[in-house]
Amino acid sequence: MDNTGTLKSMWATRPVRLPSSQGSNAKVAGVAEGIGVRYRIDPTLVRIVFVAAALFGGGILAYLLCWILMPRYSVPKSPGELLLANIDGAAPGGATLKKEQRTGWWLVAGIAITSGSVGLLSEGIVDTSLWIVLALMAAAWFGLHARTPQPPQGLITETPKDAPSVDLGAYTPAEGFAAPYTAPTPPEWDPLGAAPSLWHLPEPPKVSVEKQKSPWRWILIGAAALMVVAASVALTQASKTHPDFGDVNTTVTDESQLAATYETEAGDITLDLSGLQRLDADREIAVNNSLGDITITLPTKVPVVLNCSSDLGDVNCQPGKASGADSAHTLTITAHNDLGDVRATP
């Protein structure tokens, strides 16, 4: 086996990111969605693997590495490849490339921090398991490539003529770029396309050849199942030693229920303030997350001042002071996310 050629092929045909802004169902940066489309597996399974790996200290680092090495759909280079590039912001696609470059530097900082310090379990387990998890995920990538060496038509620019066809109509190119060109595939009896006017003719009958069943599918399913079982055990231990780990879902209808801080290390925060009618005094609350999304439903009868930020993620908050008819006092919300989106809507 030509290992050098295999590694070059893995890199050349690596997945692209499919973020939600380009039409996918991505939760963070579109890494899992892109891996699922590239290797034709369920993105949910990919997310489960990342979450399970995160419990052992390597999943977050692996996700950041994928993010920095995987280009955005229709963008020719990844954030890592753009780090030192001289980009003309006024050129077509320049604004998108500039944004990807900035994201790349944020990811470099995140990788530097994560590789040396982040862990959800005891230090001894994390130090050992970090490299084991990364090695297992690298092996999984090798296995996925061996099972599906060719990307779907139109996913990347250099796509072989005999690559499988997948519906990519739901995904839109990044601003300033066009979708990768997909050349029409001539029938097998005319591989050079010498007679395009006859392409409408039916294909000659194919000889049925039984394909050799690959063991990689079952190996990957077994590995994922083991990681899920291990994750459930680790999650139980983590919940005892790290009470701030997991989703936070809170509904507030009265000022007495309002906490000063809502936070979690890994998980989504959902804070529903729509039922809050009035305040007896000005209040300030902080909503902090390290990994996951923050979603805040704002009150309609209490004035609100929003301060939203995210190091790596989208921010959808209306800055400034909202109108409130039934309360003379103001609620100030400061929401910050290290890795994930921040949304605040009425």
* Alpha-carbon distances, residue 273 vs 59, 304, 308, 325 (angstroms): 33, 11, 16, 15
The answer to whether residue 269 is domain-embedded is yes
State the pLDDT confidence band at 62, using cuts at 50, 70 and 90. Answer: confident
Instruction: Tell me, yes or no, whether 291 and 222 share the same domain.
Output: no
Does residue 171 lie in a domain region? Answer: yes
Burial grade of 30 (CB within 10 A; 0-12, 13-18, 19 or more): buried
Tokens 């039916």 identify what position? 202
Q: Are the C-beta atoms of 151 and 80 separated by less than 8 Å?
A: no
Q: Both 229 and 301 in a single domain?
A: no
Tokens of 235: 């999650």
Structure token pair of residue 263: 């936070």
For residue 126, pLDDT beyond 50: no
Q: Which long-range contacts (CB under 8 A, 24 or more apart) does 224-231 make?
A: 224/45, 224/48, 224/49, 224/52, 227/48, 227/49, 227/52, 227/53, 227/136, 228/48, 228/52, 230/52, 230/55, 230/56, 231/51, 231/52, 231/55
Question: The tokens of 17 are what?
Answer: 């990111």
Q: How confident is the model at residue 261 (pLDDT cuts 50, 70, 90)?
A: very high
Is 100 in the same domain as 168? Answer: yes
- Cβ-defined contacts of 113-117 (< 8 Å, 24+): 114/60, 114/61, 114/64, 115/61
Is the model more confident about 121 or about 15? 15
Backbone dihedral region for residue 195 (phi beyond 0: left; psi -120 to 50: alpha; all else: beta): beta
Q: What share of the chain is helix, strand, coil (3-state, %, to 5)?
A: 35, 15, 50
- pLDDT, position 181: 56
- 208 domain residue, yes or no: no
Owner of token pair 């045909």: 13
- Enumerate residues 6+ apart whose C-beta is below 8 A from 327: 277, 278, 279, 301, 302, 303
In percent, the amount of the chain with pLDDT more than 70 equals 69
Residue in the block written with tokens 């989106």: 341
288 strand-pairing partners: 263, 336
Say if strands 294-297 and 320-321 run parallel, antiparallel, or are unpaired. unpaired
Say if residue 141 is in the same domain as residue 14.
yes
Q: State how many domains the chain has.
A: 2
Helix (H, G, I), strand (E, B) or coil at 216: helix
Residue 271 is predicted with a pLDDT of 93
On whether residue 195 sits in a domain, the answer given is no
- Please tell me which of 21-25, 65-69, 241-245 the model is most confident about, judged by mean pLDDT: 65-69
Asked if the structure places residue 198 within a domain, the reply is no
**Is the domain of 229 the same as that of 281?**
no
Residue 241 clears pLDDT 90, i.e. is over it: no
Residues 235, 145 share a domain:
yes
Q: Which helix (H) or strand (E) segment is 343 a member of?
A: strand 342-345
Q: What is the pLDDT of residues 277-308, one digit of tens each?
A: 888 889 999 999 887 889 999 888 888 888 99
- What pLDDT does residue 57 have? 67
Bigger pLDDT: 275 vs 318: 275
CA distance 263 to 91: 41
Q: What is the pLDDT of residue 287?
A: 93
What is residue 109's predicted lDDT score, i.e. its pLDDT?
A: 82
Residue 219: predicted pLDDT? 60
Is residue 333 domain-shared with residue 221, that is, in the same domain? no
Q: What is the pLDDT of residues 147-195, one digit of tens each?
A: 888 888 777 776 666 666 676 777 888 888 877 754 444 445 444 444 4
* Residue 163 included in any domain: yes
What would the DSSP string read from start to end of 14-72? ---B--GGGT---SSSSHHHHHHHHHTS-HHHHHHHHHHHHTTT-HHHHHHHHHHHSPB
**Closest listed residue to residue 320, CA positions, set 308, 338, 309, 311:** 308
Do 143 and 56 share a structural domain? yes
Give Cβ neighbours of residue 70 (< 8 Å, ≥ 6 apart). 14, 15, 16, 17, 31, 34, 78
Assigned domain for 210 exists: no
Question: Is the domain of 12 the same as that of 63?
Answer: yes
Give a yes or no: residue 146 inside a domain: yes
Domain range for 126: 3-181+216-239
Same domain, 103 and 156: yes
Both 233 and 261 in one domain: the answer is: no
State how far the Cα of 132 lies from the Cα of 160, in Å rounded to an integer: 34
Residue 32 above 70 pLDDT? yes
- pLDDT band, very low/low/confident/very high, at 262 (cuts 50, 70, 90): very high
Instruction: Give pTM, 2 decimals.
Output: 0.52
From 282, 274, 332, select the one nearest 308 (Cα to Cα). 332
Which has the higher per-residue pLDDT, 323 or 336? 336
Q: Is residue 223 located within the same domain as residue 272? A: no
* Contacting residues for 209 by C-beta, under 8 A, at least 6 apart: none
